Amino acid sequence: MRIITGKYKGRHFEIPRSFKARPTTDFAKENIFNVLNGYIDFEDAAALDLFSGTGSITLELLSRGCSQVVSIESDRDHHRFIQECLKKLSTDNSAIPIRGDVFRFIKSCKQQFDFIFADPPYALKELPQIPDLIFEKDLLKQDGIFVFEHGKDYDFSQHPHFVEHRAYGSVNFSLFKATVTTVG
């Protein structure tokens, strides 16, 4: 796993072979971040990385200058790996790795974020409800961006906050944006 750009560009981390998590491929990660550059300035943004897995997205966000990255991962070994990577980078308090259930976190979170990334296991039965939960709990700031990684069998294009879909090989991303609708 490597960091693509920013202050930690080129740093590599060896993922233990025993890990169940499948990190977003470098190819997909690089391409989706190129798309995101048209939507958001990561410098000083507050970000949330749900289903963090190996921490690849968390590390990328920190490298790109996010002022805060909260990462949620339930697996003990994966969470420990993320903490070790953060120590190797000597990040300040801008990284907040939390070991816990994503759905409990979403339900209790009172903070809003400029950017949210979610990469749940593709077989997760609650996967289709995640975009609705993000918007029901008002986790995105005005004009905030939510990127949802999912398998090819899902189509979120009818969601009211859907912006666009991108596919890179077997990796699919749906992008959503928080906007205030005016009545009139």
Residues 6+ apart with CB under 8 A from 183: none
Residue bearing tokens 């997909």: 28
> Six-digit token pair at 75?
């697996």
* Three-class SS state of 79: helix
- C-beta neighbour count of 170 within 10 angstroms: 10
pLDDT at 93: 72
Please tell me the distance from the alpha carbon of residue 55 to that of residue 61, in angstroms, as a whole number.
10
Which phi and psi (to 5°) does residue 127 adopt?
-50, -45
10-residue mean pLDDT profile of the chain (184 residues): values are 92 86 81 94 96 95 95 96 91 87 96 97 92 96 96 93 94 90 49
The residue among 149, 140, 132 whose CA lies nearest residue 178 is 140
Q: What is the SS3 assignment for 8-30? A: CCCCECCCCCCCCCCCCCHHHHH
pLDDT value at residue 184: 46
User: Distance between alpha carbon 98 and the CA centroid of its chain, in Å?
Assistant: 14
The pLDDT assigned to 182 comes to 46
CA–CA separation, 18 and 14 (whole Å): 12
pTM of the model: 0.94
